[in-house]
Amino acid sequence: MAAARSIVAARIAARSWRPEVELLLGCARAHVDIEGAARISALVEHEFDWDYLIRVADRHGLQPLLHHHLTAICPTAIPEIYAQRLREAARRVSALNTFLTNELQRLLALFAAANIEAMPYKGPALAAELYGNVALRQFSDLDIIVRPRDVPRAHDILLAEGYAPLPPLNRAQQALLMRMQCNLPFTREQNRLVVELHWAVSAPRFARPFGTDTLWAGRESGQLGRTEIKLLAVEDLLLALCVHGSKHLWERLAWICDIAELLRQRREVNWPKLIATARATGSERMLLLGLRLAADLLAAPVPAEAVQALAADPMVSTLAAEVVRYLFTPALTPSGLAGYFRFQLKTRRRLRDKVQYLCFVITPTEKDLASLTLPAPFTFVYYLLRPVRMLTTGGPEHFQ
């Protein structure tokens, strides 16, 4: 652990952040210690661009944590106009999160009554587990994992509750989607409510970090308010979050904050098993990238097993530097499809994993399926349509 801390300290010392970014990094955690609080108090005493701070906190989904810690540490140091903006932002997030949490509890009860096992993923469950308060982690939808065999029944329950697939798909298209992707979005109340029904945590050709049986066998017990829930095992959750972050180029600091909090709070992780699983399934570099970013940016503790793996793969440091280079700039991520494409290929070490990703790129999504209704013998046309839609609509999100 000492080696890990020395690596982290050297990297942090080597980088010079503007004070607003340094303050945001100091607040991007569930708890701020005495030393951290002193540093935050010292930072706000100097000339400060509060407008920039609030904008960048919003972009990274960290306004609730920023408000929470500044209010506790130095409430009088915030100019009133900006204090009011932070209060209003925190209230909006709290109201939405409470609304979504209540809806999640209601849906879980409906699934349970129908004998459908369900696990909440990210969202309120992760907020409660890592931050102790659903208002402190910003989220905008609900992710629920069910067994593949239960997807049709869960689908029908959501329809009965006023939800509709987003975009609209018929049964044949949904069956095709289940073979190619990992979730089906549903919406209600003009997109005010979005529920993503998952049967896996990643599309098979993007990354397959664990099988369905393993996912359910390792589940843990948790609590969401007064509702008893089931959660992914910590090793599965950590790997799933790192795969998700890599898929989206780690463009939000809040995702890195989640990894850092897991590293701080869940010391019982079976690291040899986790690293071996990630290595065997081709997602090791994604896992290590998440750990590297959490260590570099938020001083998260990295276990000796991970330090050894990081030292053996210098590409992880290269990828981390690329993420950090864009993290606090207007560009946000590497430019265009080419930049996204290069990044994703570099997150895969083995040739067969790179080839699998190339297959994922042309795998149709729900939007591709919704654009054209085809009879079963002609579903191959969706694979031809996919590249055309990506090139004509543009944007890295079409590779995701």
* C-alpha pair distances (Å), 252 with each of 72, 207, 300: 24, 20, 17
| Alpha helices (H) in the chain, listed in sequence order | 2-14, 19-27, 34-44, 50-59, 63-73, 80-113, 123-131, 151-160, 171-180, 212-217, 234-247, 253-265, 271-281, 284-298, 304-311, 315-327, 336-346, 351-361, 366-370, 381-393
pLDDT in tens, 239-282: 999 999 999 999 999 999 999 999 999 989 999 999 988 988 88
Per-residue confidence band for 1, with pLDDT thresholds at 50, 70 and 90: very low
- Mean pLDDT, rounded, of the chain: 89
Per-residue confidence band for 13, with pLDDT thresholds at 50, 70 and 90: very low
Q: What is the pTM for the complete model shown?
A: 0.91
pLDDT at 333: 61
Q: Give me the mean pLDDT over the 144-154 stretch.
A: 96
Share of the chain above pLDDT 70, in %: 92
pLDDT at 335: 63
pLDDT at 195: 97
Q: Give me the mean pLDDT over the 10-25 stretch.
A: 76
Asked if residue 131 lies in contact with residue 64, where contact means CB atoms within 8 angstroms, the answer is no
pLDDT in tens, 282-336: 899 999 999 999 999 999 999 999 999 999 999 999 999 999 998 988 765 666 7
**Higher pLDDT residue, 200 or 383?**
200
- The values of phi and psi at residue 227, to 5°, are -95, 125
pLDDT at 334: 64
Q: Give me the mean pLDDT over the 142-166 stretch.
A: 95
Per-residue confidence band for 393, with pLDDT thresholds at 50, 70 and 90: low
Q: Give me the mean pLDDT over the 335-344 stretch.
A: 84
**Higher pLDDT residue, 28 or 165?**
28
pLDDT at 395: 52
* C-alpha pair distances (Å), 301 with each of 142, 265, 267: 29, 10, 9
Q: Closest by alpha carbon to 179, among 379, 398, 381, 388?
A: 379
Per-residue confidence band for 14, with pLDDT thresholds at 50, 70 and 90: very low
pLDDT at 331: 62
pLDDT in tens, 46-74: 888 999 999 999 999 999 999 999 999 99
pLDDT in tens, 230-239: 999 999 999 9
Asked if residue 183 lies in contact with residue 143, where contact means CB atoms within 8 angstroms, the answer is yes
Q: Closest by alpha carbon to 105, among 131, 153, 142, 150?
A: 142
Task: Measure the CA dihedral 349/353/354/360, to 10°.
Answer: -140
